[in-house]
Amino acid sequence: MQLVVALDMPSSAQNTALAEKLAIYDNIWLKVGFRTYIRDGRYFIDTLKQINPNFKIFLDLKLYDIPNTMADAAQEIATLGIDMFNIHASAGEVAMRAVMERLSQFEQRPLVFAVTALTSFDNNSFQNIYGSSIDEKATEFAKMSYKNGLDGVVCSAYESLSIKEATSDDFMTLSPGIRPFAEASNDQQRVADLKFACAQKVDFPVVGRPIYKDEKPDEKVKMILDEIERVCKVL
């Protein structure tokens, strides 16, 4: 299990300061999302790599468009030096294939994950949009992503295990909505702690507010890494 820290702070200076505090960790991922990337762009990615070249970077832009536009975007993303990015599974199989095919020209390509169901959805609102339950659709999207050569899916910790059972143990899961020590759930509907995430074989737990809103985010990360070591080992 590898920790992903969401850099969702309101300014570039704050995100940079957070990354600097976390530079002592060589084994964590940093998630750069909409807000940060729209504001600070490629330059910010370079800054992170300068702070610690061992940081792994997940660009969370959740691409959703026609296949050719998604493939074009994927090609540009592959030149950024990031390690993982994501698309929406509901963009469909043709889009998935277009993205993976375009990336095949790179000797070292970033990992590609597909978003199944946003963790902020509850079952009712999900049903209204997709016409089926989160469980059912998340598994269907995961199978589709696996079949088309993606590396994993973004899903809640609650779907991780059944997705692996329906695809493969090696097909990776990345789960936001993780509250390591039962902190406030905020706007997330389906939160889980690390013990549960580990039992569900989540490969990448994503933690944002519980870390960056803490007075000592570097110490919080240490606590989380220790907890991962503890709960994943005993399983």
Cα(164)–Cα(159) distance, rounded to whole angstroms? 9
Rounded Cα–Cα distance for residues 196 and 128 (Å): 28
| Whether 62 is catalytic | yes
In the complex with ligand C5P, the residue whose CB is nearer, 79 or 124, is 124
Q: How far is the CB of 208 from ligand C5P (least distance, A)?
A: 3
Q: 170: closest CA among 118, 111, 220?
A: 111
For tokens 């089926």, name the residue: 132
Q: 152 or 176, CB closer to ligand C5P?
A: 176
Residue 158 CB: number of other CB atoms within 10 A?
A: 20
Which of the following is catalytic: 62, 143, 195, 213?
62
Q: In whole angstroms, give the CA distance from residue 1 to residue 55.
A: 15
Min. distance of Cβ 156 from ligand C5P in angstroms? 7
Cα–Cα distance for residue pair 78/112, rounded to 1 Å? 10
Residue ranges that bind ligand C5P, judged by CB under 6 A:
6, 8, 33, 60, 115, 118-119, 154, 176-177, 186, 188, 206-209
Q: Which is nearer to ligand C5P, 16 or 101 (CB)?
A: 16
**Shortest Cβ 104–ligand C5P spacing (Å):** 26
Smallest gap, in angstroms, from Cβ of residue 119 to ligand C5P?
4
The answer to whether 85 touches 60, Cβ cutoff 8 Å, is: yes
CB 178 → ligand C5P: shortest distance, Å? 7
For 120, counting Cβ atoms within 10 Å of its Cβ (0-12 exposed, 13-18 middle, 19+ buried), the class is: middle
Nearer to ligand C5P, 101 or 120 (CB): 120
Instruction: Say what the alpha-carbon torsion angle 42, 46, 51, 53 is, to the nearest 10 degrees.
Output: 120
In the bound state with ligand C5P, the residue whose beta carbon lies nearer, of 70 and 207, is 207
Catalytic machinery residues? 62
